[in-house]
Every structure is written in structure tokens, then in C-alpha cells.
Homo-oligomer: A and B are copies of this chain.
Amino acid sequence: MSFGFELAGTDGAARAGVLRTAHGDAPTPTFMAVGTAGTVKAMTADAVRATGAKIVLGNTYHLMLRPTAERVARLGGLHKMMDWPGPILTDSGGFQVMSLAKLRKLEEAGVTFRSHLDGSAHFLSPERSTEIQHLLDATVSMVLDECTPHPATYDEAASSMALTHRWAARSRAAFFPREGYGQFGIVQGSTYADLRRESADVLGAMDFEGYAIGGLAVGEGQSMMYEMLEATAPFLPVDKPRYLMGVGTPDDLLGSVARGVDMFDCVMPTRAGRTARAFTSAGVFNLRNARFMDDDAKLDARCACLCCARHTRAYLHHLIRCEEMLGPMLLTMHNLTYYQSLMILARAAILAGRYAAFCAETRAGWVT
């Protein structure tokens, strides 16, 4: 089956669609659970499926270091290794190289760095990143880009964006096309609307299977992020999926869908689950708080996940106080289910032409 994106309906700038891939479909808007090292932390693959997730993300930087791309390939690819036959999107590794690796050296050719794990030397170029993602058998590969640091002057942003564009062309040339697989370009341009538009135009002409919007949620604030989405999304091809990288809170997701974004990924629901925080229809709770000690209500009255169906807030509080692994397991399960439900309900609202009302009702529910 060929890789594709079908628009099922719109409501203002908000879009409901379907991403079609060699590994199955994902209705959009969609949230991709982060499976950094070949596992969504604290979750079996079956549990990830039970949250409603249709597509997950893997991190090239982590996987190239452990267990290595070549080993993943020998083991039959990432899908088989992690028991996730559905679509997998991998990032290019560039973002983590800049945030995690040591002794980085960025050049036109690529980036040389030392592993944060053992200090071993590695080189990542647009070609090698593309090859690694091919070895991992990523359904969606990302081009290697430079995530422009924030804040950046106009000249810094323009120069960084130009490098991203040159790397995008090299990544595209290195991409090995296969039926049902795709590669996404990444729009940069920092907080400058004209650069964002230019980036969308330049990358749009390269005819990627989809487009990511990068370099946001890096400290610029929600209103600036929205401003940049408004300066970018309208200039991206309407028939291609749009992916906002590394975003975000439930509120960020609602606001970004309203501005034409189709796909998201973020460690927030999984990381929060490991630090006792729960996203619910009533807002965010910290289950470590003593006020939950005798609370025999379910975590989220509107949720049907295993955690909410079977357990009380008091039990979750108990597990967290005892540092029992089941605490993070159940909260991760719930948080991912909450994120998936939010996207499923958003999609239904878009198709019903009542997305703004849905957002208002959802936000009104967040009382904590």
C-alpha cells in the first residue's frame, strides 16, 4: 500500500484525516507515544495498543548507540523487536545529539559527537541518519535538521535554516523509497514568520511525504508557538500530514490542532506517569499528594483505561508512596489513554464541525 494522507474533513484550520502506511493506518489528529529505546517506558506493546495508540515514535540517537541500527536490522527491524507491527516514526537523531551527546562538532558534512553513555565517537550526517532509519525499518523517517536554538537572531536563524534545507535535500537524495514508507521534511526558521514561510516553501518543493514543524516548544512560549504555526501551516501542502515535533500539553495539542497540525509526539504523558502526575478530564493531579490517601474515586471519571476501570486514587497514591513499579505503569497507561482520547474526540468534533466548542468544553473541565 502506498504512503498517503487523506483529508476527511476540516473545521476552520483544524483537520481530520487518515495517515495510510505500509504498517497500517492512523486517523489524525494523532499523538505518537514516545518509545525512545525501542520501548514506550513502563508499558508492554499490548498496553500501548490498549491506549488507542496507532503510531509510535523511536529515537534514532538512542537506538544507534544501543542496540545499534545494524543490530536492530539483524533482529528483523524495530517493529518486530518491540512487538509493534503498526507505523513507527523515527526522528533523525539530530535533536538528541545536540541535547545529550558530548563534544559535539557541527559541520556542513554532519555532526561528530561522543556518546553520553560511553564516550565512543560517532558521526551523523543526513545520509547516515537516513540509512540508520532505513535499518531500523522506520515507517516514517525524518530528515536530519538543525533544531535552531532559542533565542536566535534573525541572521542565526536564517543561516541555521539554510543548513537544514541543504541537509533536507541530501536526506531526500539518500532516502530509499519503499511502498508505504515516507520521509518528512522539517520546517525551521525560529520565531521569524518570513523564515518559517520560506522554509515551508523550500521544503514543499522537495515533495516529502509529510512535513514537520521543528524548533518550537523550546522556550518561546505558547503564544509565539501559535504565531509560528499560523505563519507555517497555511504554506504547507494541504495534502500532506503536518507534524509538530515535541509538543506538548493537552492544551498545546488542542491549540495546535486548531492551527492545522495533524501529528504530535511528546514525552510528557509518559514522563509524567513516572513522576506521579496524571492528565485527566478534570485537569492535572499529582498523585503523591496526601489528599489522595483516602480518595476512593477512580482517577478520571471519564476514562475507561485499565487504571481507571480497576483502581482508586488511594491505591495509586499508595503505590507511589511505596515506590512500586505498578504506580508508573498505571499512570503511564492512563496518561497515554487520555492523550489518545483527546485526539479521538478532537477528530470527531472536527468532523462534526464543532471543534471550537469541543475545545472550550474540554478546557472548562480542567479545574485543577
Q: Which residue from B37, B74, B81, B330 sits with its C-beta under 8 Å from A324?
A: B37
- Are A329 and B325 in contact, with the CB atoms below 8 A? yes
* Any B CB within 8 A of the CB of A251: no
- Are A315 and B46 in contact, with the CB atoms below 8 A? no
Q: Which residue from B39, B82, B322 sits with its C-beta under 8 Å from A37?
A: B322
- Are A71 and B315 in contact, with the CB atoms below 8 A? no
- Are A306 and B67 in contact, with the CB atoms below 8 A? no
- Residues of B contacting A44 with CB < 8 Å? 306, 326, 329-330
Q: How far is the CB of A226 from chain B (nearest CB, A)?
A: 35
- Are A315 and B42 in contact, with the CB atoms below 8 A? no
Q: How far is the CB of A292 from chain B (nearest CB, A)?
A: 11
Q: How far is the CB of A262 from chain B (nearest CB, A)?
A: 29
Residues 306-341 of chain A, each 1 if its beta carbon lies under 8 Å from chain B, else 0: 100011101100110110111011100000000000
* Any B CB within 8 A of the CB of A185: no
- Are A42 and B326 in contact, with the CB atoms below 8 A? yes
Within 8 A of B (CB), among A341-365: none
- Residues of B contacting A46 with CB < 8 Å? 306
* Any B CB within 8 A of the CB of A66: yes
Q: A322-B66, A326-B44 are in contact. Are A83 and B37 (CB under 8 A)?
A: no
- Are B67 and A318 in contact, with the CB atoms below 8 A? yes
Q: Which residue from B62, B82, B296 sits with its C-beta under 8 Å from A76?
A: B296
- Are B39 and A75 in contact, with the CB atoms below 8 A? no
Can you give 11 A-B contacts (C-beta < 8 A)? Answer: A37-B318, A39-B324, A39-B326, A44-B326, A66-B322, A67-B321, A75-B294, A75-B296, A81-B318, A82-B315, A325-B328
